[in-house]
Amino acid sequence: MSALHAEWTKLRTLPSTWWLLAALAGITAAAGAAVTGAVDTSACPDPAACREDTAKLALSGVQIGQVAAVVLGVLAVGGEYATGTIAATLAAVPRRGAVLAAKAAVVAAAVAAAGSAGVLASLAAGRGILPGNGFTAANGHPPLSLLDGATARAAAGTVLYLVLVALLSLGAGTAVREPAAAITAVLALLWIVPVLTRLAGDPRWQERLERLAPMTAGLAVQATRDLDRLPIGPWAGMGVLAGYAAAALAAGWILLAARDA
């Protein structure tokens, strides 16, 4: 508990933490609203024939908002390596596993809170924008609501996605120790891997690679319709991302325990 209290004190007293959490919520909502506002039913032969996944559309801003989660996760440990204060942290709490676990807990809690705010704002914006773009109940697109099971799953899954991305980043930051390198590596894993999978000539291999790409697999949880067309199921995809996060944290813990500091 002392390690948890210390890590929470460090995290909340850094001005960058609050800016990053505000950016996470704000960018997620703003980007989602912008994408939602740019899509309407005019390109469809009939508004009722549009198969747009409106919940996924409204939550699409998370693909940009996750950058703040990545930076926060890396800086939670990388910032201490950059300033040299990691030595004081490890002197105060010699059990290095406890240090990493405490950091993971406070980062997860902070990102979950900011992510929830961003997701709720995204759904509220989508609920207001979509009817004006032709996505009405009469056309087969009921208003977005958390009372709808699929929408609630997409919303909760999106928050969980952000938490796992932050934990993946924390693990990478612990292993690499250099903040800029760790941030670059995580963003490349999230964004470049999905692009590379599309270069696969064989559609079967492309689908297999999409199942392993952390962002593609993790964001499958946002889908609320045509689930049979997904390369991987919503919760199975979240499991893939959880595997990446667990592997990164395990690598970070092993290297943290093996190094002098």
Residues in the chain predicted with pLDDT less than 50, given as ranges, are none
**Residue 239: per-residue pLDDT:** 97
Contact criterion met (CB below 8 Å) for 170 and 249: yes
Contact criterion met (CB below 8 Å) for 49 and 134: no
Nearest one of 177, 186, 185, 172 to 78, comparing CA atoms? 177
- Residue matched to tokens 């007293």: 13
pTM: 0.93
Angle, in degrees to the nearest 10, between helices 15-37 and 62-83: 160
Query: What is d(CA 105, CA 99) in angstroms, rounded to the nearest whole number?
Result: 10
**Residue 233: per-residue pLDDT:** 93
* Domain region containing 125: 2-258
Contact criterion met (CB below 8 Å) for 245 and 167: yes
Contact criterion met (CB below 8 Å) for 77 and 175: no
**Residue 261: per-residue pLDDT:** 58
Overall number of domains in the chain: 1
Query: What is d(CA 97, CA 79) in angstroms, rounded to the nearest whole number?
Result: 18
Contact criterion met (CB below 8 Å) for 170 and 74: yes
Farthest-apart Cα atoms in the chain, separation:
67
**Residue 260: per-residue pLDDT:** 61
Q: Measured between alpha carbons, how far apart are the two ends of the chain, in Å?
A: 22
